[in-house]
Amino acid sequence: MSQNPSAPSMTSLHGAPQHTLSEILQQPLLWPDTFARVLSATDRWHLPLNLQKARVLLTGAGTSAYAASAVAAAWPRAIAVPTTDLLVDAERYLLDVDAVISLARSGDSPESAAVVQRIRTLRPDIMQLAIVCNQDSALSRSGIDELLALDPRTNDHSLVMTSSFSNLLLAGLALAQSAAVGAMVDQVSSRASALLPELDRICSRVAARIHERIVILSSSPLLGWAREAGLKALEMTAGNFPVVTETFLGIRHGPMSFVKPDALVLCLLSSDPIRRSYEIDLIEELRSKRLGYLIGIADPAHAQGLFDEIIPAIAPLAPDILRTPYEIVAPQLLGYHLSLHIGLNPDNPSPAGVINRVVQGVRIHPTLVSSKREGV
């Protein structure tokens, strides 16, 4: 794919090359290529079913599970189940499923290939597909029916998933709603490239403030975004900031007790006007109670007077269920700058190995195949 001359250089914002920053900044350049790969794959695949009408289960682990959740919100008959749940409780989830789509960056997490074999044992009739950033992975070699391998640049070198997340998610959304994604991907990619320097400046400024905790808020169609945004802050700061993710309506039911005046509260305003009305009510309540330093990812036209800082939304007019790949860029940059601010290396914020780029320590135990579900 040709380089976008308007995109900032991978080293222009912070000097020396760093994997995490480069991988965040390259995302707008890769989104059109990911969409093109989906079109090519679907032309090549010989599927015995119509994915748009099929009962689909999307799965992944960690960040990939959040991507699966966000894709499922845009798929008419889909559910999302993390591989970490599917591995130990597959029989419960596979009763009414026609196809399983696995999302993975490395594809080498122990659960990924094990889940494929577990499904093969329980329901050999289920069509299994995978979207991966690493074509030479255990998942790719696990006997799945069809594979979509993304550009190798999406296979982040950094410990944290950034470019991999948005491109796995975009690929899943393109399978679910090809026409809608195709109609916007080029325009949104160009807007994102143009906005990157401004997003970076704002996130650097916000990270330099003193915060004791972080709250991430969205409405339910964007909850996958909220969970991933919270995970980026948690991972890149090695857990130095407690993080809570919630919906705007859900936070009143107990989690509001976590919100203190020194909290950083990051909000993603919906494009849907009804949802946005409920969101604004909650934001105004927080302001009246003097709770949190309020950051809004929003169309400035809908956000004046609501927030202490406004981060321009990359896709403010897109349907909410399609916005997550694009709006995750700002939380990624925020996590990056929070990491730098407390003296960590965002490429490997866990040098002691508390967390790893590819999950370690998982033993796959043999399972007995029962003829009927437990308790039935």
pLDDT at 2 over 50: no
pLDDT at 49 over 80: yes
Span 318-344, average pLDDT? 95
pLDDT in tens, 12-39: 344 343 799 999 999 999 999 999 999 9
Non-local CB neighbours of 89 within 8 Å, separated by 6+ positions: none
Q: What is the pLDDT of residue 16?
A: 40
Residue 270 and residue 244 share a domain: yes
Non-local CB neighbours of 206 within 8 Å, separated by 6+ positions: 264, 293, 295, 309, 334, 337
* Sign of the CA dihedral with 235 first, then 133, 312, and 306 last: negative
Could you tell me if residue 224 is inside a domain?
yes
Q: How far apart are CA 127 and CA 123, in angstroms?
A: 9
Span 124-142, average pLDDT? 88
User: Torsions phi, psi of 200, nearest 5?
Assistant: -65, -45
Residue 214 and residue 127 share a domain: no
Residue 201 and residue 235 share a domain: yes
Residue 301 and residue 193 share a domain: yes
Residue 327 and residue 267 share a domain: yes
Choice among 162-166, 194-198, 314-318, 362-366 with the minimum mean pLDDT? 362-366
Residue 246 and residue 113 share a domain: no
Q: How far apart are CA 228 and CA 234, in angstroms?
A: 10
pLDDT at 369 over 90: no
* DSSP-based three-state secondary structure for 322: helix
Could you tell me if residue 219 is inside a domain?
yes
Residue 53 and residue 138 share a domain: yes
Residue 163 and residue 129 share a domain: yes
For the chain, how many structural domains are there in total?
2
**Which of 86 and 48 is assigned the larger pLDDT?**
86
Residue 137 and residue 32 share a domain: yes
pLDDT range class, residue 3, cuts 50, 70, 90: very low
| Token pair for 179 | 């026409």
Could you tell me if residue 91 is inside a domain?
yes
pLDDT range class, residue 367, cuts 50, 70, 90: low
| Token pair for 308 | 């202490």
Q: What is the pLDDT of residue 63?
A: 93
Can you give the residue range of the structural domain that contains 68?
19-176
> What is the phi-psi region of residue 375: left when phi exceeds 0, alpha when psi lies from -120 to 50, beta otherwise?
left
pLDDT at 113 over 50: yes
**Which of 203 and 114 is assigned the larger pLDDT?**
203
Question: How confident is the prediction for the chain on average, in pLDDT?
Answer: 88
* DSSP-based three-state secondary structure for 148: strand
Q: What is the pLDDT of residue 134?
A: 87
Q: What is the pLDDT of residue 80?
A: 96
Of 206, 229, 208, nearest to 325 (Cα)? 229
Could you tell me if residue 321 is inside a domain?
yes
Q: What is the pLDDT of residue 361?
A: 58
Could you tell me if residue 371 is inside a domain?
no
pLDDT at 371 over 60: no
Cβ(4)–Cβ(29) under 8 Å? yes
Q: What is the pLDDT of residue 355?
A: 59
Could you tell me if residue 325 is inside a domain?
yes
| Token pair for 21 | 């920053």
Q: What is the pLDDT of residue 234?
A: 93
Could you tell me if residue 291 is inside a domain?
yes
User: Torsions phi, psi of 293, nearest 5?
Assistant: -90, 110
Q: What is the pLDDT of residue 18?
A: 79
Residue 140 and residue 49 share a domain: yes
Most trustworthy range by pLDDT among 301-310, 350-359, 364-373: 301-310
- CA distance to 10, 16, 57, 108, 232, per residue, from 65 (Å): 28, 32, 11, 15, 14
| Amino acid occupying residue 43 | D
Q: What is the pLDDT of residue 156?
A: 92
Residue 271 and residue 159 share a domain: no
Cβ(296)–Cβ(283) under 8 Å? yes
CATH number at residue 90: 3.40.50.10490
**Cα of 325 vs its chain's centroid, Å:** 7
pLDDT range class, residue 364, cuts 50, 70, 90: low
pLDDT in tens, 147-200: 999 999 999 988 899 999 999 999 999 999 999 999 999 999 999 999 999 999
Could you tell me if residue 285 is inside a domain?
yes
Residue 300 and residue 166 share a domain: no
pTM for the model stands at: 0.90
pLDDT range class, residue 211, cuts 50, 70, 90: confident
Q: What is the pLDDT of residue 103?
A: 95
